[in-house]
Amino acid sequence: MGQGSSGSRTAPPPPRGAVRQRIDRLVREVVKFGAVGGAGVLVNLLVFNLVRHTTDLQVVRASIIATVVAIVFNYLGFRYFTYRDRDKSGRTREMSLFLLFSAVGLVIENGVLYTATYGFGWDSPLQSNIFKFVGIGLGTLFRFWSYRTWVFRALPARESPVRAESFPEPEQRAPVRSADDRPAGATRVGAARRP
């Protein structure tokens, strides 16, 4: 029992509480990521519109500047708020991967805006903001997956103590009795009764 065909023990299923804890941790992570990301979206859109209306830069170039400013803002928010409890040992690796995945997110985000602006000619201020927002949304999905998987790695889980119920019960042996401890009227096995 508890052994597979190869004779090795199979791991017991996680307790119901462990699954609930994982879901709760993921929900908290998504909420924190959303808070930082939402603030980053506001920074991104504000800088985008500020650069677009105060300079003569083209739409996509203004968007790239805004995205870079938002990336810096988001890194600080993710490192010191969302993922502050994650592994901090490899900051160079972390920063390199963050920049790599942020660059991919930048291409996704601004690719949508570029396609709308130059592929379909949708370049009014309202259309540009709509497609900038759609691009941010698609880029955010990619960033959430890549940041939590590769950049801000979780620390190894501490092994939780095994609950007492999961220990196998020791075998119960019948107490050994000597001849003097026999109840009245009991006979020894193999002994003949005297008349």
Confidence (pLDDT) at 10: 62
Find the helix packing angle between 91-114 and 125-146, rounded to 10°: 150
Domain that holds residue 90: 18-151
Q: pLDDT class for 164, splitting at 50, 70, 90?
A: very low
Residue 132 lies in a domain: yes
| C-alpha pair distances (Å), 187 with each of 12, 19, 174, 194 | 47, 57, 17, 11
In this structure, how many other beta carbons lie within 10 angstroms of the beta carbon of residue 13?
8
By CB atoms closer than 10 A (0-12, 13-18, 19+), residue 104 is: middle
Residue 195 lies in a domain: no
pLDDT at 167 over 90: no
pLDDT at 8 over 60: no
Residue 122 lies in a domain: yes
**Number of domains into which the chain is organized:** 1
Q: What's the chain's average pLDDT?
A: 80
Residue 3 lies in a domain: no
pLDDT at 194 over 70: no
